[in-house]
Structure 1
Amino acid sequence: MRLCLVRHAIAVERGLPGFADDASRPLTQEGRERMEAAAAGLRLLMTANALLTSPLLRARQTAEILQNAFGVEDSRVSEALASGAHGALFDDANATGGETVLAVGHEPFLSEALAYALTGDSAGMSAQFKKGAAALVEFHGPAVPGGGVLEWLMQPAALRAVAGERPAGA
């Protein structure tokens, strides 16, 4: 199986009036537009047939963009993507039966999940997921701690460039 970890797109800043509840912060218009372009680039790099998302609004909205870009019908909420329960995330991914599963979540949990996939230890390495970044991990069989091989980690500007968007100032 392949697991593609994706950080949610740019959302409304924490603590702004009307957005005191972190779980209900939506994507900004800029975040939506950038994620749509990044999703187009991601779609050129891979296919997916299942999707997991954190229950937080910004992740669900990002997942919706990915679901539309990939035409994924199997979309499920995974509490593990909001809590950092990496073993439960792998269980949820395996339970989809998908060959390639998109998993939309948050930092620092995604960096920890990547480390857990590659080393078996959530603190076993350091990685950075900017908002809208993605990493593809391949497992030979089901997702298990330490059983993954990193195919790539791409920041959102690189994904947008794959889709043909010119970098600012170019």
Structure 2
Amino acid sequence: MELYLIRHGIAQEREIGLADETRSLTDKGRDKTRQVAQRLSELGVRFDVLLTSPLLRSQQTAKILHDCKLSQNIAESAHLAPDGSIHDWLDWFKKQQYPQQTQLALVGHQPNLGQWAEILVWGEDRAKLFLKKAGIIGIALPETDSPIGQSQLFWLTAPKFLL
């Protein structure tokens, strides 16, 4: 199974009076995310399932990916919110019983996605992987009960390398 961890695009800065959940993509963030999505489409990347954090900027990023025909299905996952846990997500994931050939994309936030990738690949959070906005990490998940420390990193790309 291929798992793609995708960070949301460039969003509004944090400011007093603006709830984090409602921070939107900026015009630049929408444009850059659309360019990344179009490039992924040109490369033939497709997702069978696209899960997004419930926060607005991630939902907007997922919609852009969907609109560029990278996936037909978008679903929200509370596990992808900034306070989400990879262990809770993995418990949920195991129950889904996706076929091994599934290509699954998760749209979320940093530092979570970088930490999740490290846990899947190295078995621990080393605070070394940083995912740029609209960046992508690709991980091959093994056919085991627990992919923690058993997965293979095959893609770590900042948006500038796709554009």
Q: Shorter-chain-normalised TM-score: which range?
A: 0.7 to 0.9
Q: Which moved more, 1:48-57 or 1:91-100?
A: 91-100
Q: Deviations over 1:79-128 (max 9, x none)?
A: 1111230122234445272601110000110110000110221x235111
Q: 2:133 aligns with which of 125, 131, 134?
A: 131
Look up the equivalent residue of 2:150 and give its one-letter code: G
Query: Is residue 118 of structure 1 aligned with residue 116 of structure 2?
Result: no
Flag the 1:88–1:38 CA change in 2: closer, same or farther, 3 A.
Answer: same
- Scaled by the length of structure 2, what TM-score is found? 0.87
CA contact (8 A) 1:9 1:32 kept: yes
CA contact (8 A) 1:93 1:101 kept: no
Flag the 1:92–1:31 CA change in 2: closer, same or farther, 3 A.
Answer: farther
In structure 2, what is the Cα distance between the partners aligned to 1:144 and 1:100?
A: 15
**Mapping for residues 21-32 of structure 1, pairs under 5 Å:** 21-32=19-30
Structure 2 regions of 5+ residues with no counterpart? none
CA contact (8 A) 2:45 2:70 kept: no
Measure how far apart 1:23 and its partner are. 0.6
Flag the 1:30–1:150 CA change in 2: closer, same or farther, 3 A.
Answer: same
Measure how far apart 1:58 and its partner are. 0.2
CA contact (8 A) 1:9 1:35 kept: yes
Query: Is residue 72 of structure 1 aligned with residue 71 of structure 2?
Result: yes
Measure how far apart 1:69 and its partner are. 1.9
**Paired position in structure 1 for 2:103:** 100
In structure 2, what is the Cα distance between the partners aligned to 1:96 and 1:60?
A: 24
Measure how far apart 1:51 and its partner are. 0.6
| Number of matched pairs | 157
Measure how far apart 1:48 and its partner are. 1.2
**Mapping for residues 30-109 of structure 1, pairs under 5 Å:** 30-43=28-41, 44=43, 46-82=45-81, 83-94=83-94, 95=96, 97=98, 99-109=102-112
In structure 1, what is the Cα distance between the partners aligned to 2:66 and 2:90?
A: 20
Q: Deviations over 1:34-73 (max 9, x none)?
A: 0000112223152211011000000000011111223422
Q: Which moved more, 1:124-133 or 1:142-151?
A: 142-151
**Paired position in structure 2 for 1:150:** 153
The secondary structure found in structure 2 opposite 1:5 is: strand
- Scaled by the length of structure 1, what TM-score is found? 0.84
Look up the equivalent residue of 2:55 and give its one-letter code: L
